[in-house]
Structure 1
Amino acid sequence: MKFAKFTAVTLLATLLFAGCADEKISFGGDDENKNSDTGLLSIANLVVDCRIDDSTPDAGIKPSTSAVQATRTSVDTSNFDCSIINERNEVVKSFKYSERPTEAIELETGDYIFKIQSGEVTTAEWEAPVYGSVKPFKIVRNETETLSEVVCSLMQIMVSVSYAEDLLERLGAKTLTIVSVADNTLEYSLTEQRAGFFPAPQTSNTIKLLISGTYAADKENFKLVEMSKEVRDVKAGQHSKIHLYLEHAAEGNINVGVTVRDWVTDEIIPCNVSDLVTEEEWTEGGNQGGNQGGNDPVEPTEDPSIVWDGYDISKREQIVDGIVVDLLISASKGIKEFLVQIASDSLTPDVLSGINICNVLNLCHPDKSYDSRYPDVFVDTEEALRNLQFAVGEDVLNKTFVKLSITSFMGMLKGVSGPDLKNHDFILTVTDNEGNTTTKTLMLQTGK
């Protein structure tokens, strides 16, 4: 009986061993992956390049298209932020480029993107490029996807401004070229060599230029001048090189030449400044060339000056959908005080108090705004005005140029005014550091 029991146990062990030989036990090694819906991503040897057209602004010679190309630039990529994002827009892994995994990364099967970026784009800044790239890839079951190279491009619009020598001789030292992309603005002095980097909020963007200062065709008798221009269809990653020059110095016509990374505008963008020809034409007055789509310069008769960009501020305008109300304020001696008084059939002092502002706004010192009914009681409106994207405080005080956009007010005006005809006036009073004062009234209308 003992022999029979031993024989049975031996036979059972033999069968179990044979079964284990045919069905090998898994200990979590490579064979386990063969039974799961995952694959691998390898980035150990990933190389990152940054490319931009970093040539200096040309001196009026327009290069051929082939000459304007993206070139590699020396950028330390070690601190770039990397992330792996799945098709549900979830970040499944993040790390610094210098700390990227050396071992293959196990991921579920599916579509992914590899995102790398040097920083965040927030506002316009001098010499502050941000590079980035997004590279899609797919993870297949039991296969390894390898990323070997990523090319990062500029995520902003790069703008540099230069001037021809004969134009510099005729411009006053405090003349500025104010460059704006959407709500971001930088002021370029005549000696500014730095490039500005602007957020690109849209796929296609518009660069707005305002040349504000003084000009002397004879190099001696300077007069105030403002000239605006737009450069359209500018995209992130492009370097817009704005070059201002006199096409015919004797005639005083200023042309704006623009080149953009990866493409060159063969057409010179003209700004016919026939007002700037001679002293006689200044004294004769009038816009000799007429208003060519709002891009001709105007000779401000006052300093400080207040201009509604694209409109005649002396005329009342109906508020329609899409209206843009950008007020351009220039003061060659610097702004000491800027008051805005709201006289509206709808935006009464009580209505305005509901959004924490008053009907008399002090933009230089927003903590000294007040209700005209109680002029001795000051209210701090800075936070509310900044929320409305107003320029206030240090963004106005002592500045020689300010763009005040009240476009955000337009929807509010229409909303509280109803269908009946109503008027809305904004009385603008600017005083410079020498006590010179200019007052203009922006006149708007809603309803029928």
Structure 2
Amino acid sequence: MKNIFLICLTLMAVLFTFSACHSEKMETGATDVTGQLSLASMKMEVDLKVDTVYPQSRAGVDVSNFLLTIKNSQGEQVEQYTYSEMPEIISLPVGTYTVVASSAEAATNGFDVPFYTGSTEQFTIKENELTEVFALTCRLANVMISVEYDEELRKLMGEDVVTNVKIGDNSLDIPSSETRKAYLIAPASAGSMDITLKGTIDGESVTEVKRVDNVQAGQYNIIKYVLNSVDDGTNSNVGGNLNIAINIDSSMTSSDETVGVNPGEEPGIDDFPTDGGEEPGDGDGDSDGDGEGGITSDINITGKKLGDSSFDIDQTQTITGATTLIVGIEAPAGIQNLKVKITSAGNDDFNGIGEGLGEFDLAHSDSMNENAQAMIPVLGLPIDDAVLNQPNLDFNISKFTSMLAGFEGTHTFKITVTDNQGKTESKSLVINVPKK
């Protein structure tokens, strides 16, 4: 069984080799001996697959003014041209190089300013030889954002309503009248995005903040505001307080996070604490103290079955062979994210497999890396609709146990669940495989 995992590890290494925009650092020294680089046959294209929500925006991008930069193996710029003016043949010292294309010198924050970039794999210039570069694909390298309001909500909105979006140190105000796509500089790795709605709605001042995790380059987030009517339960007449739901929908991660926004407390209604008023949890509709009404039960992650019995997930479990192993997950508000990270102590081979899979989200398989997308379905784990919005779930890794038994050491499955109210609970399933 150990050989099965070693084969998988080898396949992962192959996948990494062919990952997009990858460049391997190699050493090269300065020399007077030269060779030639041919760019005559190089074609450049822009991959717009992130723009799946609005098909009409998939028009071709004009690449004539893209910057084409040739860098040596130390990452230093050797030559730079615009794509429309680049020479067909370039003489370069013998060595290793990469061609990098970008739509601008750097990404910026603003409207209608997408930043596309891409690079070739490294290539070698050899003495008195002609090296050709044939193709280069650029992809969106910042975060694209749109804000939408439903018509019922727009009828109640003042002209001062604005959405502020902040990613790290980068921030942008998006007025309610703005229809262009917004772009923010992406974090170096997956980070968080803070969304703040401000302005006058139905004559009341609104300020509400929502945080969205797993924001990264190449992602298109659509912020949707929807007006809901909420009956306070004190009478049978139609009406009640107003509640605004913020739905964050990303074409990359298919996230769908929701938060209630209170546009102001009406007389006789205290279901929602006012901004700057009572402490969270004082409102009658918020028994769990998170500032939101509705379902308030906690998330539970428990040891449901090991062999024929339940087990304590907070204790290390020992296995010596194939067995039933199920973790029970309860999230009454519905699962929004189910993230798993696998690590290993004392076994580099298995730890390497975990690193290759990365932290994967079973609720959003399109956010997984290529290795996880290939491996997870084979292991029989539930994904996408079998996880997303489910109130109960069996995280069944029984298929894992027969393979895991071939890797002695202590292995950890960190399980992190986030529900549709933004609550998060994390548990670590620790498995010990003793030395045979």
Q: What TM-score, normalized to structure 2?
A: 0.49
Please identify the structure whose Cα radius of gyration is greater: 1
- Which TM-score applies when normalising by structure 1? 0.48
